[in-house]
Structure 1
């Protein structure tokens, strides 16, 4: 995509964001390296926030949410564990109900203790893509994010212009 086309695309997205910012679309800026390399510090993103977007969260969606027990600010992380699932971390690898999770977006091996979690109903287990620099479900007093605290699903990175990216569903094993 040429720079002119990317600029036009960003302008259209920003106009849509401005029109629907109170109901359907949110936008924000990444503040930490916890989601690198997927979303770098300073990247701007657009998230859908209507109930249908939040009610249909899938594993490995990138979501925008509040974790009130830990922070008074919004966070962006990746959904790893779904309601009712058993999440295990063994030798730096994530397993869901005993099956290893395919995570092609990770750039380095995770250094972490072996741990187990069982995700309660109506909750999710979140992790940053930069596992060794992310403060996430593995570290929180309450490791689970209630579905009511999820505000939106990140759909598009709109800045930097040369890194515009639409996040689509990927089949994970």
Structure 2
């Protein structure tokens, strides 16, 4: 009986360690809180965030990422990468420009209504925005700003819920 309890305890401990390693290094689930990524994502959507991709490459424009909110790293935001280190970004007359090229964004809710003066994205950071541009706390705000790579949790890869929208997420940009 004691031998069986020791084996059970070992199995439980091994399962806990495996779960911790998977959640820390491979993937986790997150729930969308709010409408900043509407229409791509809705409030209460459940997503799988995979963390492996960014061990091998840096985030790129179009990726939907989960980041730690710089003002409170316990909070997580879901945003789209719009520009990366070295890029110049500006918003002028309701259009987003990266390196003087207008982005074609068929996934946004509405045109960006407020101009944003041109800035150069620092190396090893990304510039993120929500798809619901006029209702998103993102890199345009000093509260978020340029997001350092170590604040990127992972790439939103799959919508689990609602079940009728189950599937991969559109990641690319033109």
What TM-score bracket applies, with the shorter chain setting the length? 0.7 to 0.9
Distance 2:24 2:126 in 1: 25
5+ long unaligned stretches in structure 2: 1-18
Q: Is the 8 A contact 1:92 1:114 kept in 2?
A: no
Q: 13, 27, 30: which is aligned to 1:28?
A: 30
Distance 1:169 1:128 in 2: 13
Residues 121-132 of structure 1 aligned to structure 2 (within 5 Å): 121-132=123-134
Q: Which runs of 4+ in 1 moved over 4 A?
A: none
Q: Is the 8 A contact 1:70 1:141 kept in 2?
A: no
**1:72-126 superposed Cα distances (whole Å, 9 cap, x missing partner):** 4111100001111000101111101100011110131221124212100000001
Distance 2:60 2:27 in 1: 18
Aligned-pair RMSD on alpha carbons?
Answer: 2.2
Q: Is the 8 A contact 2:64 2:156 kept in 1?
A: yes
- For residue 36 of structure 2, give the secondary structure of its aligned residue in structure 1: helix
**Larger Rg, first or second structure (1 or 2):** 2
**1:116-137 superposed Cα distances (whole Å, 9 cap, x missing partner):** 1210000000100000110111
Q: Is the 8 A contact 2:95 2:102 kept in 1?
A: yes
TM-score when normalising by structure 2 = 0.81
**1:58-77 superposed Cα distances (whole Å, 9 cap, x missing partner):** 21100011132366411110
TM-score when normalising by structure 1 = 0.81
Report the Cα offset of residue 38 of structure 1: 0.5
5+ long unaligned stretches in structure 1: 1-16
Distance 1:64 1:85 in 2: 21
Distance 1:30 1:80 in 2: 19
Report the Cα offset of residue 168 of structure 1: 4.7
**1:163 maps to what in 2?**
165
**2:114 maps to what in 1?**
112
